[in-house]
Amino acid sequence: MEQFHFWSRARSRWILQRLSRFIASHKNHRVLDVGCGTGHLVQQLVNSGYRAVGIDLQTEGWLQKPSLHLLRASAAALPFPDGQFDAVILADVLEHMEERRPLQEAFRVLAPGGVLLIAVPAFPKLWSQRDTDAGHLRRYLPKDLRILAHGLGGEMVYLGFYQFFLFPLVVISRLFKISPRKEVNVPRFLNQLFWQINRFEVWLGQWIRWPWGSSLLAMIKKR
């Protein structure tokens, strides 16, 4: 899914684009992907020139490549010294757990001036069976992420939505209670069409901040 599904592919592109805006030179910058899943985003970070490390509690499905550094560890107890990373990514992680400790740990391992990148599902009113099946505890509003940034003592340098153009389809799927399986197993031609739409949105998002979407992305700078 991480490699082929339109939502996952575009989300990774979106994260890399945002990261490059705040870390101008990729070479040797250290990035930690917390809750890295299979390690697919870590691989993309390495391909982009970052020194990337991924951690997760689940090791099944990890990409077995010599260039990848993947560790089994908890987001609530990161096995790294203070200030080691220039960026920490929490992509669709916070909605699965109690937030306070993972956020504190992410900020602890950030170097001064580093950025914490958070991606979460948006709008509590979009709650559906898919959230329940995925083990989500909550969906977020922009004010929720501002409160989290304030609690960390960080500076919110970016806050925006993702999946603006396809948002009406998300709303329709929730209203008519479309099966979560159908959202994952999208026909190939639709998957390619939606990928191109999201790809265009991510490109255009360099200059436009979308007023809504099914996901939120925040970047919090450590002072």
CATH of the domain at 46: 3.40.50.150
> How confident is the model at residue 34, as a pLDDT?
97
> How confident is the model at residue 125, as a pLDDT?
94
Q: List, for the chain, all residue ranges whose pLDDT scores fall below the cut of 70.
A: 24-27, 63, 66-67
Structural domain boundaries enclosing 128: 6-221
Closest CA to 21 of 202, 142, 163: 202
β strands within 106-176, DSSP E: 110-121, 155-162
Q: What is the pLDDT of residues 132-165, one digit of tens each?
A: 988 999 999 999 999 999 999 999 999 999 999 9
| Count of domains forming the chain | 1
| 68, 72, 77, 80 alpha-carbon torsion, rounded to 10° | -30
Kindly state whether residue 140 falls inside one of the protein's structural domains. Answer: yes
Kindly state whether residue 1 falls inside one of the protein's structural domains. Answer: no
Kindly state whether residue 215 falls inside one of the protein's structural domains. Answer: yes
Q: Which long-range contacts (CB under 8 A, 24 or more apart) does 146-154 make?
A: 148/99, 148/103, 148/118, 148/218, 148/220, 149/218, 149/220, 151/103, 152/103, 152/104, 152/107, 152/116, 152/220, 153/223, 154/107, 154/116, 154/220, 154/221, 154/222, 154/223
